[in-house]
Amino acid sequence: MPKMKSKSSAKKRFKVLGNGGVKRAHAFKRHILTKKTTKNKRQLRGTSLVNERDMASIHKMLPYA
């Protein structure tokens, strides 16, 4: 059988950690930032982990990660 391909969009958006978790960036931080509060923008900085409920779909998109 041929190898499975990873989704290119998922490769760009997610990083698999050594402990099996998946790191992701926050949404709603790209544009239209003037109407968002400073507190909201500050809390959207950095990264967070993907929820356990979404891990199955992430593993389908990144089969060898």
> What is the domain range of residue 14?
8-61
Cα–Cα distance between 39 and 23 in angstroms, integer?
22
Query: Which tens digit of pLDDT belongs to each residue from 1-57?
Result: 899 999 999 999 999 999 999 999 999 999 999 999 999 999 999 999 999 999 999
What is the total count of domains within the chain?
Answer: 1
The torsion region of residue 46 among left (phi > 0), alpha (psi -120 to 50) and beta comes to left
What CATH number does residue 12 fall under?
4.10.410.60
3 is a domain residue: no
52 is a domain residue: yes
**Type of residue found at 45:** R
23 is a domain residue: yes
What pLDDT score does 48 carry?
Answer: 97
29 is a domain residue: yes
Cα–Cα distance between 52 and 21 in angstroms, integer?
9
34 is a domain residue: yes
14 is a domain residue: yes
